[in-house]
Structure 1
């Protein structure tokens, strides 16, 4: 449950990694993500939250992962396992379809597109904190991918910087139910101020009640 209202001028929606490789049929990671994404109706909920945020006047900050380019990580001392996987399969490759925005979640006029993050936190080595402060933001709502990596790292970093953090448990997904459980039942409660469903969030966003949630979820 949400026990407070979100002030539009102080709230930001963080839309993390809305790439074709994650969210579109044929994307490099979609088949692995599909079971959990289908179960939680990920795409429908992402559409509903982004539409409601824009309708209410909440600014959307698109928080993208580094788009892979030839040579990335080749001369690094200690790339992490995810970066090694990206290096191998060329996830989110710049200039390729997989590294383009899912058409339903491409940045819109008024959105703020943040510098690409190299690892899992949308704050590390980017301008996200600076941009949020310049827009007077105190509350962030994190949606997108993946629940137990970039969403968790971005949300935890936001808390450390003093932001109020909301996680939306069915507007994200992960590669397994166990990862979702860890993100929302074990780790999330240690840093997030609210962990809610899409319906609970829509109930407190101004004008969100008129937002359509139709679609097949895929």
Structure 2
């Protein structure tokens, strides 16, 4: 049997059909760390979604791992971008939306006074976690316009990455089966290589299931690589 035939035979056998490693190697000159929604409403016990995501955030050590990623990315000198989620009063006039969108509007998640007004923003649920602010507010990090549902189609993330010559993305943040997966899918369709950091994300846990475990399955099929924070930090330090 030829090598090609042997490989095809393996994939036809569900017991042995392990997805291959694509052999991705980081090139720091074209790599960016993209962190989605590193905000109080997702990552703090004071946030409005903590009852849904708190266990998952805690189990994965997400808050600490995101801090490690920010620090390692800055030390490595790579592009860092944040894709935040904000809702303004005009957004609450939408005529339709999915169940999670309805919930976010009902509980005031990521609410801001207006696009041009920061009144009440500092320390609010829409604000960045305080431990990340030295990294995010250093004048070098790209703070994208807000995405409005889940994916980056409604913000300037892709434009910003293209303008910086980025083609490899290290993806982390919240929430695993929603904004992170949606960003992953769009970036892959746009031609980026995407590494998802599996322990720097978390998701809602509801009676219908665990969003984090659901997302991991799709990450394995779609992402160029699925690494831990430790693996990412090591590769940033020793490319």
> What TM-score does the superposition give when structure 1 sets the normalisation length?
0.87
Contact 2:176 2:201 in 1 (8 A): yes
Match of 2:65 in 1: 45
Mapped pair 1:28 → 2:48: yes
Q: Partners of 1:86 and 1:3 in 2: how far apart? A: 39
Q: Partners of 1:4 and 1:204 in 2: how far apart? A: 11
Q: Partners of 2:145 and 2:68 in 1: how far apart? A: 25
Match of 2:226 in 1: 195
Match of 2:87 in 1: 68
Q: Partners of 1:199 and 1:11 in 2: how far apart? A: 17
Match of 1:151 among 172, 177, 180: 180
Match of 1:100 among 127, 135, 138: 127
Q: Deviations over 1:71-91 (max 9, x none)?
A: 424242x22222211221110
Match of 1:215 in 2: none
**CA displacement at 1:190 relative to structure 2:** 2.6
Greater C-alpha radius of gyration: 2
Bigger relative CO (Cα 8 Å, ≥ 6 apart): 1
Match of 2:108 among 82, 87, 90: 90
Mapped pair 1:165 → 2:183: no
> What TM-score does the superposition give when structure 2 sets the normalisation length?
0.80
Q: Partners of 2:40 and 2:228 in 1: how far apart? A: 24
Match of 1:117 in 2: 147
2:139 partner SS? coil
2:63 partner SS? helix
Q: Partners of 2:232 and 2:238 in 1: how far apart? A: 12
Change (3 A) 1:41 1:138: same
Contact 2:87 2:148 in 1 (8 A): no
| Unaligned 5+ runs, structure 2 | 1-20, 113-119
Q: Deviations over 1:165-205 (max 9, x none)?
A: 11111001112372111111x21123201011111111211
Q: Partners of 1:53 and 1:32 in 2: how far apart? A: 29
Q: Aligned pairs, how many? A: 204
Q: Partners of 1:5 and 1:81 in 2: how far apart? A: 39
Q: Partners of 1:34 and 1:60 in 2: how far apart? A: 26
Match of 2:235 among 188, 193, 204: 204
